[in-house]
Each structure stands twice: as C-alpha cells, then as structure tokens.
Structure 1
Amino acid sequence: MYYYIKALHIIFIVTWFAGLFYFPRLLIYNAEIQTEPDANIKSAMTRQYLLMMKRLWYGITVPSAIMTLILGSLTLHFGHWAPHLFDGTGTWLLIKLGFVILLYIYFFSLGKIFKQQSKGIFKYSGNQLRFYNEVATVFLFAIVFLATVKSAGSLLYGLGGLILLILILVTAIKIYKKVREKKSGKQP
C-alpha cells in the first residue's frame, strides 16, 4: 500500500509542478498584453489569458497541490518517517518539509496574483514575474536533491548549488531581457 501511495504522491507532484511552471507564464503574458495599444486586442487577449489561467489553476494546479499534500502526509505516515524527523536520521526530511512549506507559500502567492489580475490589478511587470517564475525551479531542485540524497550533511554543497542555480537563472533572465529589447528595438 505504501508504494502505491508514494507513486501517486510523485504523480501529483509532477502535475502540480506542471501547473507551477506554466501558470506564471500566463501571468507574465497577461501582464505584458496590458501595454498593447489596440484596445480590442488587449481586451480579447486578457479574456483569453484569464480563461486559460482559470482552467489551469482550478483544473490542474489546485487539485494537484491538494492531492500532493494529502498523499505526502500519507507517505510520511505509512513510511514511518514521522518518528525520525527530530532524530539524526530525519534531518534531511525536516529540511525538505521546510522547502515544501515555502513552496506552498509560493503557490498561494501565485493565487493572490491571479486574483489581482482577474480584477484588473497589475502590480508586477512581465520582467518581475519572469524572476518570480523561476522560484518553482529552485524549490524543485532543493526538494528533489534532498529526497534523493537523503543527507543533511551535504547541506553546504546543496546550498552552494542552489545559490549557483539562482545566479544562473538570474543571469539567463537578464540576458533574455536584453535580447528581447534588442529584437524589439528598445534600449534598456
């Protein structure tokens, strides 16, 4: 039974992350279309993006987040991991759960931005949302490495790797922005 629950947990993690990776892209596109000078195009595209976001959020992302939480809790219980959280063998799991909590906070913040955009409130530019889009990638790396390596002793290497990943992502976003500006003829 444990392995079936664990397999389902992993499947729902994958579908949740699919939503966490694509949903912010829709937020970006919706924010960027707001600068469209043609009111008809802007209105049509905004409606389309909001429809796509609503279907992705409520059809895949939210249900997957709920199932991930339920199945993860069952995996923790049936895998008899809970007693080891605070002894030396479960430190990696405790750290992983900390990242999972932060991931859920990120998830709820995406929902908040979605509700704001649904009301026509655009607090973040496309470029700001591009940086925010990469947060899920950082969490994915941290959680998968902790779950696979199962060692808090490698924490220093892991943190160094996460910092390097963040630097690479930030650099890539900045390069992408410059390439886009160059193609559109805008100066930074």
Structure 2
Amino acid sequence: MIMLWLKAFHLITIICWFAGIFYLPRLFVYHAMAEDQATRNHLKIMERKLYRFVSPFAVLTIVFGILLIAQNPSYYIHAGWLQLKLLFVIALIAYHLHCGHLVKKFANDQNQRGHVFYRWFNEAPVIALFAIVLLAVLKPF
C-alpha cells in the first residue's frame, strides 16, 4: 500500500514541477521580447515567484523517487531502464537549476539571448518528459 501512495505523490509532484518548467521558459520568451521596462519588471516578479513555487516540487519529486527506489533497491539498482531514466532526471535537474540562473540574469537585466533561443530552450523538458515516461511505463530493458 505504501508503494501506491509514494507513486501517487511522485506523480503529483512531477506534474507540478513540469508545469513550472514548461511555463518559466515561456516567460523568458516574453521577457526577451518585452520592449518597455514596466513589462520587464512585471515579468521579473513572475519569474522569481514561479521559480520559488516550483522548486520545492522538484525536490519532492526527487524525494518520492528515492523512496520508491528504496522500496525494492535490489530490483531498481540493476534496472537498465531506471539508470537511463535517472540520466534524464539529472539532465532535468540541471535544466531546472539553469532556469534559476536565468531568472537571476533577467532580474539583473543581463540577458544576452533573444526570444527565438528561449522558444527552443522551452522544448528541452518535453524531450525529457517523453523519455522519462516511456522508460518508466515500458521498462524496455
């Protein structure tokens, strides 16, 4: 029964985390396109608040994932699909931390990139999401 609760909370926190890391780069797109200071200031507030809101969900996702692995470590440690999934999770964590760095750059008016870069940057978590879900559901190896 505990495994089902852990899976449920793991999924809930994943959904919340992904909602944030899908939307935050979209704010970067708007911020890079903004021409007036009032809009940029408003976006700075939104970016900071969203990053602060979503970061605990990233931590909880990791905690629930570790607790799930701890339920049957002898199986999970040797599962090739999980090892590959964890590589995508590590990349996603790096992406999340880089978003935090970008929030600071935008806050200090130090952004050097245009909106087209952030449109492409916004697609990276989609790739991770597909890979992570497919690996977790299909367990191909």
The gaps in structure 1 that reach 5 residues or longer are 37-41, 153-188
2:43 is aligned to: 49
Preserved CA contact (<8 Å) 2:69 2:76: no
Residue pairs, 1:9-88, within 5 angstroms? 9-33=10-34, 36=35, 42-59=36-53, 61-78=54-71, 80=72, 82-85=73-76, 87=78
Tell me the alpha carbon deviations over residues 144-182 of structure 1, each in whole angstroms, 9 at most, x when there is no partner: 000010013xxxxxxxxxxxxxxxxxxxxxxxxxxxxxx
Tell me the alpha carbon deviations over residues 40-85 of structure 1, each in whole angstroms, 9 at most, x when there is no partner: xx111011111111121112x101101101111111112x0x3234
Greater RCO structure (CA 8 Å; 6+ sep): 2
Residue pairs, 1:143-158, within 5 angstroms? 143-152=132-141
TM-score of the superposed pair, with normalisation by structure 1: 0.72
AA matched with 2:25:
P
Preserved CA contact (<8 Å) 2:76 2:82: yes
TM-score of the superposed pair, with normalisation by structure 2: 0.95
Matched-pair identity in %: 34
Moved over 6 A (4+): none
The gaps in structure 2 that reach 5 residues or longer are none
> Which whole-Å CA distance do the structure 1 matches of 2:77 and 2:13 have between them?
27
**RMSD over aligned Cα, in angstroms?**
1.1
- Count of equivalent residues: 140
AA matched with 1:14:
I
- Does 2:111 align with 1:122? yes
- Specify which of 60, 63, 84 is matched with residue 95 of structure 1: 84
| Structure 1 residue 86: Cα displacement | 5.1
Which protein has the larger Cα radius of gyration, Structure 1 or Structure 2? Answer: 1
